[in-house]
Structure 1
Amino acid sequence: MKKQEYSMGLMFTKEMSQVLLIKKNHGPKSVIGRWNGIGGHLEDGETPQECQVREYEEETGVKTELSDWAQFTKLQGNDFIVHCFWGNKTYAVLHARTTTNEQVEIVNTNQHIFNIPLAPNLKWFIPFLMDRTTHNHLCIVLAKYLKDDTLDLYPTTTI
């Protein structure tokens, strides 16, 4: 059976002080009613990065470019793959609006972000991406030595 593929992206402001999240009302049980990154399922013939650009525009009304997104990890389960991206383009955060039946909101990335119901992975994705001193080095080390097929970490470039 072919695994269903998804993209999920976290778009931060340039200073990394805010991130755009969406309150999920459908999907896996672990994310319903929680704040998650913007994303959705890959369509036929679409790359994960193309999916991220399309989903971000559909769910926020803001057009981004392929170059605005860098993949930082890929999560895999028995029947799914989630390609995880990040970016830091202030315009893409501040001009976003709710365009579907799922609310989008700009959230401050200070310690209070953990007082809202986050999708489980965001509890480590957000601090990991915000820590610029260790992020790139850790990605390279883990990508080189991690032998677990369920989690791939990619070195990222500064956007």
Structure 2
Amino acid sequence: MEAQKKEFSGEYVLGLMLSPDMTKVVLLMKDRPASLAGMLNGVGGHVEAGETPVQAMVREFEEEAEVHTLEGDWHAFATKVGPGFRLTCFFSVHEAYNKVRTMTSEPVAVYERELLHGQPVLPEIFELLAMVDRQVPITASA
């Protein structure tokens, strides 16, 4: 139990970048920590000293997916607080979603949302995507 507390201590960010039509999402395949290895998750990581969560989100997305974004591209929509940790979740609807590249040992890719069921996706990602859907206005085509 003590090792698990150390695994998730500090402040973190998690970002979901979606295609403009909301049908695709950028996820990465976790290889660490051990409790998340082999699971698809959003892009994110630690908030460093002196950073705000949104600054960390911009930095993490560029470091892990090689896509430069701006603070205004990210919208905080959920926060999870647990013993010794805080996770701020962001989303971005961005035309550069298809320009992501793997920059670390954790592969980053674009996934069709309708095909995510049956994939090794962290269950919380489905709830987070549903929360994003409730926040993004739907525009009807004429």
- Looking at structure 1, the residues matched to 118 and 58 of structure 2 have their Cα atoms a distance apart, in angstroms, of 29
User: Is the 1:70–1:157 Cα contact (8 Å) retained in structure 2?
Assistant: no
Q: Secondary structure at the match of 1:52?
A: helix
Q: Deviations over 1:48-107 (max 9, x none)?
A: 00000000000011100000000000001101110000010021x111100101000100
- Looking at structure 2, the residues matched to 113 and 68 of structure 1 have their Cα atoms a distance apart, in angstroms, of 24
Partner of residue 93, structure 2: 88
1:121 corresponds to which of 102, 120, 124: 124
Partner of residue 101, structure 1: 105
2:30 corresponds to which of 8, 20, 24: 24
- Looking at structure 2, the residues matched to 89 and 25 of structure 1 have their Cα atoms a distance apart, in angstroms, of 26
- Looking at structure 1, the residues matched to 56 and 103 of structure 2 have their Cα atoms a distance apart, in angstroms, of 17
- Looking at structure 1, the residues matched to 34 and 93 of structure 2 have their Cα atoms a distance apart, in angstroms, of 27
Gaps of 5+ in 1: 137-155
Shift in Å, 1:125: 1.1
Tell me how many residue pairs correspond in the alignment.
130
Q: Secondary structure at the match of 2:79?
A: strand
Identity among equivalent positions (%) equals: 32
- Stretches (4+) displaced over 3 A: none
Gaps of 5+ in 2: 1-8
Q: Secondary structure at the match of 1:114?
A: coil
Distance change (3 Å), C-alpha of 1:115 and 1:56: same
After TM superposition, the score normalised by the length of structure 1 is 0.77
- Looking at structure 2, the residues matched to 101 and 41 of structure 1 have their Cα atoms a distance apart, in angstroms, of 16
Distance change (3 Å), C-alpha of 1:157 and 1:127: closer
